[in-house]
Structure 1
Amino acid sequence: MPELLRAAWVIARRDFAAIIFSKAFFFFLLGPVFPLAIGIAAGSIGGQVARDIDQPSFALVMSAGETQAVLKARAALAQQLGESRVPMLAAVETDDPQSALDSGNDSRFLGVLTGSLAKPQLIGTESEIMRWKGPLELLVERARAGGAAAPATLETRTVAQSAGSQEQGRLVTAQVGQALLVLLTMLLAGMVLSNLVEEKTNKIIEILAAAVPIDAIFLGKLFAMLGMALIGIACWTALALGAILIAANGLPALPTPATGWPLFLALGVGYFAMAYLLLGSLFLGIGAMASTVREVQTLSMPATMGQLLFFFLASYSVTRLGEPIELVAVAFPFSSPFAMLARAAQQDGLWQHLLALGWQAFWVLLLIRFGAKLFRRNVLKSGSGKRGLIAGLFARP
């Protein structure tokens, strides 16, 4: 193992220096400007998730008779104005109306409509009160059925934060993090494949294979490309921060994730590295099987489309924490970085992320081993054809 790591370090240093000090690297840094519009357009795919997130719901804490009157008025008003213009109401039995704001993951209440029809009260955050006070006053007035001459006026009581508004904010942070992660991964991972095919064409890879183990070559190339990708991301982040400072007054602030911004950003870097290494190791295996650029394009297309499907799986499950579909997204290695980043935005706790990073690292090593075996058989024409695949993966190089 020490010899393998030393050989991988030599390959990584060689590739890293060759890429960073090339003229093409400068133009590579300009690359994200063009797919940015595509990335923004791709956000419309999360329409179903957006509908799950943007369903305003208020707890209704009134007497039984008044509750039925309000719910009936809400149904009639929604028919006239549309569902999106009238918030959802859910009857809650409690002696403490404000406690409904902290009722847990099963309810996403933005506020509480309580009191009586004669003297209604709205409890919630200042932003939610400003947004929904008018429609709720109209709803209460409709529920009175002409029983009062004066128009309905809601008394308001503000709270610092409700469970519903906090959860909705964290879902937005999770979606933005997932979209950014997949955009960077798809943009940068393809360079691993093109670099390997170029060196196969020039016979450089065969010279390297005569000096160091194939596993070390693949490992070194992956980490060299990862280092290049992180430098590119650092440059783009600096440009983005500059743009944010210029347009600070016109940009909304992302809600704070459950783990806090420092840990969330650190986990974001870790999950990007794992997503990049997983896709890059898969591309190395594809490059080991391909001998021409046309074969590379043919073989890499299913892998690219598959990665997008895994991203859609993780994006779909972002509002379904703990459900089977979300657990599948967490366990499957290619969707795991996206699903776990969404968890970091919505749940605190570090242990689950350490387990996930270890699980993803195991699959990176397994895919590197598999790609090296393919390279030996298809390019170097070595290796025993009688040995089983699983035994061959874990055999000594």
Structure 2
Amino acid sequence: MKEILRAAFVIARRDFTAIIYSKAFIFFLLGPFFPVLVGIAAGSLGGQIAREAAQPVVGLAMTQSDSRKMIEARESLSVNMGENYFTKIKIVGDAAQDDGKNPQDYLKKKEDNLSVVVTGTLAKPIVTGTKGSVNRESAGIELLAAYGLNPGAIKLPEAEADIVAETANSDKQLRTVTAQGGQILVFFLTMLLAGMVLSNLVEEKSNKIIEILAASIPMESVFLGKLFAMLGMALLGILVWTTIGGIGMQVTQGLPNFPTPAVGWPVFITLCFTYFIMAYLMLGALFLGIGAMAATVREVQTISMPVTMAQLINFFFASYALTKTGQPVEQFAAIFPFSSPFAMIGRAALEPTLWHHAVAIIGQLFFAILLLRLGVWMFKRNVMKSGNAGRIKDAGKRKLFGLISVNG
């Protein structure tokens, strides 16, 4: 076992060094920022356009004095009730000058973007519009009209603030948001990073390096070393992305305020990090087995697609089980290896019990080892049976050490 781990460390160091000193690794680090920046820009622009296009306006077609009183009432009440409490209002007509004009004529002007038109008087306002718009705006219009008639009759009391540390809102329903955020983050990182294991193994199979390695050291060491090298690369990428993201949030003051998980933030972040490693090891070991069966990149893509879709189903299954804590469906999601990391992240956010996580992590680690051994067995059965590897053992050792010396 000691020799296997030492050889695995050699392979891991060789692959890790070759990856991080390549030009492709720089583009790999920059890759996730482009869709994020495009998404933020598109979301901001789309939201701005939607807000400007869909923002309703209440048109006032009363007498000039009544319309001004309505606007003054809105300005006064907005100080206490908030600017967004009342819909934006504007004067679109004058009842004294537009006598006999139909309110629908104002609504037809698309440039005003009117939802309703108010006519009549402050004592008896008439709201014209669709049923939904009238029902939505009537209460606010009535309040403004009443305040416009007699501002002194409506006096809003000032509420005294009494701050508490926790309320009933910081329970399971709110913590579900934190759980979903952790699940999505771990799933996204796992699927983004685990796929690199496939291409690395297929490349070395095509240029016969894998045969040299197989003739020199146990295949268990080769697979384990490659898996650890890719894990190290993934952790380095996460460190860079987290650092840049943290700096960006501090500069923009955009740090999201998620509800505190049941186990507390330090433990929750530690568990999310641990479950990412477990999910990566399991999926990476599975991808190594797939790479052992495939001879070309096209075969890798064909075989890995069902695995990717299955992992997506596991994620959705764990997300569905999030609200079923303690029920059989949630327990199965926590036990089933491929959905277990995501289900246990949800449990960490909702339940304070910790020993469940120790059992789950140990089980996931053993399953990752099982998948790795299965991948080694498949490689020996499908690739090494050709016979070349066994006849070049001595030459393979010399070439291996030559490769190690060249790569550092």
Q: TM-score range by the shorter chain?
A: 0.5 to 0.7
Matches within 5 A, 1:58-77: none
Contact 1:274/1:361 (<8 A) preserved: yes
> In the alignment, what sits opposite 1:242?
247
1:226 maps onto 2:265 in alignment: no
Secondary structure of the 1:13 match is helix
Matches within 5 A, 1:189-204: 189-204=194-209
User: What is the alpha-carbon distance in structure 1 between the residues aligned to residue 231 and residue 309 of structure 2?
Assistant: 21
> In the alignment, what sits opposite 1:336?
340
Give the total of aligned pairs: 276
> In the alignment, what sits opposite 1:302?
306
User: What is the alpha-carbon distance in structure 1 between the residues aligned to residue 191 and residue 276 of structure 2?
Assistant: 11
User: What is the alpha-carbon distance in structure 1 between the residues aligned to residue 277 and residue 307 of structure 2?
Assistant: 18
Distance 1:229 1:307, change over 3 A: same
List per-residue Cα deviations over 1:42-90 (Å, max 9, x = no partner).
xxxxxxxxxxxxxxxxxxxxxxxxxxxxxxxxxxxxxxxxxxxxxxxxx
> In the alignment, what sits opposite 1:266?
270
List per-residue Cα deviations over 1:7-56 (Å, max 9, x = no partner).
1111111111111111111100012124548999xxxxxxxxxxxxxxxx
> In the alignment, what sits opposite 2:167?
162
Secondary structure of the 1:165 match is coil
List per-residue Cα deviations over 1:296-346 (Å, max 9, x = no partner).
110000000100000000111111111111111100100101111111111
> In the alignment, what sits opposite 1:359?
363
> In the alignment, what sits opposite 1:172?
177
> In the alignment, what sits opposite 2:317?
313
Q: Which amino acid aligns with 1:217?
A: V
User: What is the alpha-carbon distance in structure 2 between the residues aligned to residue 168 and residue 244 of structure 1?
Assistant: 26
Larger Rg over CA atoms:
2
1:212 maps onto 2:217 in alignment: yes
Q: Which amino acid aligns with 1:369?
A: R
User: What is the alpha-carbon distance in structure 1 between the residues aligned to residue 30 and residue 233 of structure 2?
Assistant: 14
> In the alignment, what sits opposite 1:33?
33
TM-score by length of 1: 0.65
> In the alignment, what sits opposite 2:8?
8
Distance 1:158 1:299, change over 3 A: same
User: What is the alpha-carbon distance in structure 2 between the residues aligned to residue 329 and residue 273 of structure 1?
Assistant: 18
Deviation at 1:252, TM superposition (A): 3.4
Q: Which amino acid aligns with 2:310?
A: G
Matches within 5 A, 1:85-234: 159-234=164-239
List per-residue Cα deviations over 1:207-264 (Å, max 9, x = no partner).
000011111111110011000000000000001101110121x443112111111111
Contact 1:258/1:345 (<8 A) preserved: yes
Secondary structure of the 1:259 match is coil
Deviation at 1:157, TM superposition (A): 7.7
Contact 2:11/2:225 (<8 A) preserved: yes
Contact 1:9/1:220 (<8 A) preserved: yes
List per-residue Cα deviations over 1:254-311 (Å, max 9, x = no partner).
1211111111111111100010111100000100110111111100000001000000
User: What is the alpha-carbon distance in structure 2 between the residues aligned to residue 364 and residue 322 of structure 1?
Assistant: 26
User: What is the alpha-carbon distance in structure 1 between the residues aligned to residue 361 and residue 19 of structure 2?
Assistant: 27
Contact 2:293/2:382 (<8 A) preserved: yes
User: What is the alpha-carbon distance in structure 1 between the residues aligned to residue 367 and residue 325 of structure 2?
Assistant: 23
User: What is the alpha-carbon distance in structure 1 between the residues aligned to residue 360 and residue 204 of structure 2?
Assistant: 33
Secondary structure of the 1:8 match is helix
> In the alignment, what sits opposite 1:140?
none
Gaps of 5+ in 2: 41-138, 140-158, 388-408
> In the alignment, what sits opposite 2:87?
none
Secondary structure of the 2:170 match is helix
| Aligned-CA RMSD value | 2.8
Contact 1:376/1:382 (<8 A) preserved: no
Deviation at 1:202, TM superposition (A): 0.6
Distance 1:202 1:38, change over 3 A: farther
> In the alignment, what sits opposite 2:395?
none
Q: Which amino acid aligns with 2:282?
A: L
